Amino acid sequence: MRFFTDAGEVGRWAKMPGRDVYGMALVEIGEENKDIVVLGADAMGSCRCTEFQKRFPERTFNVGIAEANMVGMAAGLATCGKIPFVNTFGFLLSMRACEHVRTDICYPNLNVKLVTSMFGLIAGTGGTTHHSHEDLAIMRSFPNMTIIEAADGFETMKAAKAIAKHVGPVYLRVGRDKVPVYARDYDLQIGKGVILREGKDGTIIACGILVSHALQAAAELAKCKIEVQVINMHTIKPLDREKVMQAAKGKVIVTAEEHSIIGGLGGAVAEFVAEEGLKVPVKRVGIQDVFCGIGPTDELRAKHGLTAEAIQNAVLRAI
């Protein structure tokens, strides 16, 4: 079965939750490449791996609640020429299995794909134990690791296909929200951000769900005669340094992400700006240096400033 054959269907896929599209993309990728195998840790439904499991039961491994062991198994499979897609929650991949990701996968630079659809504040009422706003910082510190966060369902499909062809470790965040960003087809290139809106007064660099909020903020700022560029920085590592360099020619750079302001996209951009001596202020919209409490996801996001309004205010304060 092929799901993604008509570029005219872009808007439809964009409106779907990323994890749902990811589940369909897995099936197509699996049909195209017999070396694709899928591993899960007793959350196959939540991670949308069940269709792949039905279609390719001999290439699917549900290891139970044993995330560290799952990562080790994936490493072994990779050494035998397989391309493992490892699926579980972000806090489990980045913290419970942290040592194994670092030592078993990144150190030998194995071709393993780590995929999560539970990160940031998506867990909501699951609370601090299940929130994951440190995962990008942890994964970004590992040599050889590539990090991607898709902005909508359509980009999730593009990202899934891209990482299947990319050789090396990848950490991919796929969302659960219906936040359409793309209306037409484009060629996702790992390490190359996408300019979604032009503007001379500043730049918002965002990833994931905050891309849609960045576009909303830019539209509101335009009503005040402030034109800001919006870049979807779907690849957090390696960072698109050329686009950040170009953004530094404006009055301000604002980063936006569903992650701590420490060590994620905002940290990567700020580090680059400082190292290059670029004379532009950088404001980071994200989760401050706090634990976020318990509550519905939307309420927690609003409480911690993961909104279009917060992005808009960050631009205004800087300018």
174 has a pLDDT exceeding 70 = yes
Residues 169 and 200 in one domain: no
Residue 1 forms part of a structural domain: no
Distance between CA 140 and CA 145 in Å, rounded? 7
Domain contains 299: yes
Q: How far is Cα 258 from Cα 301, in angstroms, rounded to an integer?
A: 8
How large is the average pLDDT for residues 85-111?
97
Helix (H, G, I), strand (E, B) or coil at 114: strand
On whether both 226 and 295 belong to a single domain, the answer is yes
What's the number of domains the chain is made of?
2
Q: For residue 312, is it left (φ>0), alpha (ψ between -120 and 50) or beta? A: alpha
Is the pLDDT at 171 greater than 70, yes or no?
Answer: yes
- Answer with the one of 109, 138, 173 that is the final residue of a domain: 173
Q: Span 165-185, mean pLDDT?
A: 94
Strands 113-116 and 282-287: unpaired
pLDDT tens digits, 42-64: 988 888 999 999 999 999 999 99
Position with higher pLDDT, 239 vs 3: 239
Q: Please state the rounded mean pLDDT for residues 228-241.
A: 98
Q: Looking at 39-43, 205-209, 258-262, which range is the least confident one? A: 39-43
Report whether pLDDT(8) > 70.
no
- 154: enclosing H helix or E strand: helix 153-165
| 81 within 8 A of 109, measured Cβ to Cβ | no
Distance of alpha carbon 76 from alpha carbon 80, whole angstroms: 7
d(CA 84, CA 164): 9
pTM value surpassing 0.85: yes
Percent of the chain at pLDDT > 90 equals 89
Tokens 């799901």 correspond to what residue? 3
pLDDT at 17: 87
Structure tokens at 255: 């980063």
Domain match, 148 and 36 both: yes
Q: How far is residue 204's CA from residue 314's CA, in Å, rounded to a whole number?
A: 10
Q: Are residues 143 and 219 in the same domain?
A: no
- Residue 95: DSSP 8-state: I
**What backbone phi and psi angles, to 5 degrees, belong to 310?**
-65, -40
pLDDT band per the 50, 70, 90 thresholds, residue 11: confident
Token pair listed for 88: 């579980």
Q: Strand order in 253-260's β-sheet?
A: 194-197, 228-232, 202-206, 253-260, 282-287
Q: Tell me if 101 is assigned to some domain.
A: yes
Q: In the predicted model, is pLDDT for residue 6 greater than 60? A: no
Same-domain pairing of 33 and 166? yes
Lowest mean pLDDT among 42-46, 77-81, 174-178, 203-207: 42-46
Eight-class DSSP state of 175: -
Nearest CA to 138 out of 125, 149, 147 is that of 147
- Given this model, what pLDDT does residue 1 score? 44
Q: Decide if pLDDT at 3 tops 90.
A: no
Cβ(19)–Cβ(174) below 8 Å:
yes
Instruction: For residues 198 and 297, state if they share a domain.
Output: yes
Residue 5: predicted pLDDT: 44
Which of 142, 173, 204 lies at the terminal end of a domain, its last residue?
173
For all residues of the chain together, what is the average pLDDT?
A: 94
State which residues form the domain around 280. 194-318
Other C-beta atoms within 10 Å of 1: how many?
8
Cα gap 30→38, rounded to integer Å: 9
- Tell me, yes or no, whether 136 and 263 share the same domain: no
Q: What is the pLDDT of residue 219?
A: 97
- 14 and 155 part of one domain: yes
Which of the pair, 198 or 3, is modelled with greater confidence?
A: 198
Q: What is the Cα–Cα distance from 9 to 82, expressed in whole angstroms?
A: 31
Given the DSSP bridges, would you call strands 83-87 and 146-149 parallel, antiparallel or unpaired? unpaired
Say whether both 227 and 87 belong to one domain. Answer: no
Q: What is the CATH number of the domain that holds 204?
A: 3.40.50.920
Name the E strands within 110-268: 113-116, 146-149, 170-173, 194-197, 202-206, 228-232, 235-237, 253-260
Euclidean distance between CA atoms 224 and 296, whole angstroms:
33
- 131: DSSP letter: -
Residue pLDDT, tens place only, 256-315: 999 999 999 999 999 999 999 999 999 999 999 999 999 999 999 999 999 999 999 999
Cα separation, 139 vs 92, whole angstroms: 12
* Domain-located, residue 180: no
Strand partners, 149: 173
Beta bridge partners of 231: 195, 205
